């Protein structure tokens, strides 16, 4: 008989090993899945995980890595803080969309004004929009005890419809000949979020993502608020006796993760996406949840996990083009990754022993 003995504290070695194991297990299972679908498994795995960085078309796909990783890391950094405290913001996708809309709204309202302060103002509006959208579930939980999981998730569907309404209605480009979608912000110099260093894909969102990693690391390991958050997650009763107010944490965590998601949305709308469309949300908010868990809710881990999942996005697109694999392959991979991670996590929290028959 096998028996599980809970560890006093999570094993550090396994905490680092299990994400790696989860990635390897995903590759093996993914390979089997491809074989099942009639593709060469080795070629498929190489196309997804290797070719985007070192393959023949790598010079095109490499910059994409930072473009895709930036929103994931930015959003996941915020989510991880809440997850540490047991506050589940599942609606980052909605906060991302609203942040993109509020940020773009500033630019579209001031068009064609050119000023150095326009882009910073848009970032502020994006942060504020995401923050406000995140504060809705926070306040509804604090005032009425409504589940922040369900409210934040419902607000994703509401945000998607707001985006569609904006793209077809108020924000439609007046010179767009009736096509839905706003003006292209990339062609509006003061509002554009350009590539800062040619050929790297690095735009202001990448800078913000790096800053978010540093700032959340500081918050969680050097600041009293971070200590409170960790305390509330591991020992809620003890935290309350220490004077941590759960309501403050709910508002702080949902507000912060909302603001970061909103900023990610703004950087996307003003940069790679370029305009407000009804397809503003592309799932970064959901993938970021996987990034947060795969990164062990730790800033450095999130940085690495964000890059890896960005790789699967690019690799997935590549596999779609070269091997005609379905676009949803990436989604399946990401889901599998989280499954394996959660399963292997057993090793960090429990020791496995063989039980002697009494």
Partner 1 sequence: MMIDPLSVFLLLISASTPILFAALGELVVERAGVLNLGVEGMMITGALAGFAAAYASGNPFLGFAVAALAGAAISLLFAALTQLFLANQVASGLALTLFGLGLAAMFGKPFEGVKAPAMPIGPLRINWIVWLGLIMVPVVWWFLNRTRRGLILRGVGENHEAAHALGYDVRLTRLAAIAFGGAMAGIGGAFISIATVLQWTEGMTAGAGWIALAIVVFSNWTAPGVLAGAWLFGGVTVLQLRLQAAGVAVPVQLLSMAPYLATIIVLVAISARQKYSRRAGAAAPGSLGTNFHALR
Instruction: Confirm or reject binding of residue 329 to partner 1 (CB under 8 A).
Output: yes
Quick one: how many helices (H) and strands (E) in the chain?
A: 15, 2
In angstroms, what is the minimal distance from the CB of 149 to partner 1?
7
Instruction: Confirm or reject binding of residue 168 to partner 1 (CB under 8 A).
Output: yes
Please say which residue, 123 or 151, places its beta carbon nearer to partner 1.
151
In angstroms, what is the minimal distance from the CB of 331 to partner 1?
3
CB pairs under 8 A, 24+ apart, for 183-186?
183/108, 183/111, 183/275, 184/274, 184/275, 185/104, 185/107, 185/269, 185/270, 185/274, 185/275, 186/270, 186/271, 186/274
Q: Which residues contact 266 (CB under 8 A, 6 or more apart)?
A: 99, 100, 102, 103, 104, 122, 123, 125, 126, 127, 129, 193
Q: Which one of the spans 111-119, 201-209, 250-258, 325-333 is the region binding partner 1 (CB under 8 A)?
A: 325-333
In angstroms, what is the minimal distance from the CB of 248 to partner 1?
18
Which residues, numbered 75-114, are part of the site for partner 1 (CB under 8 A)? 88, 90
Closest to 204 measured CA to CA, from 307, 126, 132: 126
Instruction: Give 146's DSSP letter.
Output: -
Binding mask 169-208 for partner 1 (x = CB under 8 A): x---------------------------------------
Which residues, numbered 121-160, are part of the site for partner 1 (CB under 8 A)? 140, 143-147, 149-151, 153-158
Place of tokens 């040619």: 198
Which stretches of the chain bind partner 1, using CB under 8 A? 4, 6, 88, 90, 140, 143-147, 149-151, 153-158, 161-162, 164-165, 168-169, 286, 289-290, 293, 326-336, 338-339, 342-343, 345-346, 349-350
């Amino acid at each position: 008989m096998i028996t599980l003995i809970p560890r006093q504290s999570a094993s550090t070695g396994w905490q680092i090993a299990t994400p790696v194991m989860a990635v390897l297990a995903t590759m093996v299972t993914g390979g089997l899945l491809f074989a099942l679908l009639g593709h060469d498994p080795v070629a498929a795995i190489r196309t997804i995980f290797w070719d985007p960085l070192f393959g023949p078309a790598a010079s095109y796909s490499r910059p994409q890595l930072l473009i895709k990783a930036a929103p994931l890391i930015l959003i996941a950094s915020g989510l991880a803080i809440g997850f540490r405290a047991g506050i589940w913001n599942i609606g980052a996708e909605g906060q991302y969309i609203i942040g993109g809309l509020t940020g773009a709204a500033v630019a579209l309202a001031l068009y064609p004004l050119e000023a150095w302060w326009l882009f910073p103002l848009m970032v502020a509006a994006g942060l504020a929009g995401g923050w406000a959208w995140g504060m809705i579930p926070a306040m509804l939980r604090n005032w009425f005890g409504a589940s922040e999981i369900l409210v934040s998730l419902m607000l994703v569907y509401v945000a998607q419809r707001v985006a569609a309404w904006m793209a077809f209605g108020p924000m439609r480009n007046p010179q767009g000949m009736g096509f839905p979608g706003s003006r292209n912000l990339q062609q509006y110099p003061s509002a554009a979020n350009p590539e800062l260093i040619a050929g790297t894909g690095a735009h202001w969102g990448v800078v913000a993502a790096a800053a978010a990693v540093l700032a959340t690391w500081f918050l969680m390991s050097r600041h009293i608020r971070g200590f409170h958050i960790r305390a509330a997650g591991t020992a809620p009763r003890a935290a309350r006796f220490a004077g941590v107010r759960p309501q403050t944490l709910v508002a702080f965590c949902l507000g912060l993760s909302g603001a970061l998601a909103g900023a990610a949305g703004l950087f996307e709308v003003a940069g790679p996406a370029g305009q407000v469309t009804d397809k503003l949300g592309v799932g970064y908010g959901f993938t970021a949840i996987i990034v947060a868990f795969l990164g062990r809710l730790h800033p450095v881990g999130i940085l690495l996990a964000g890059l890896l999942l960005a790789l699967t996005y690019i690799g997935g697109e590549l596999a779609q083009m070269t091997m005609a694999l379905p676009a949803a392959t990436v989604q399946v991979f990401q889901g599998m990754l989280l499954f394996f991670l959660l399963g292997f996590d057993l090793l960090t929290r429990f020791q496995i022993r063989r039980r002697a028959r009494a």
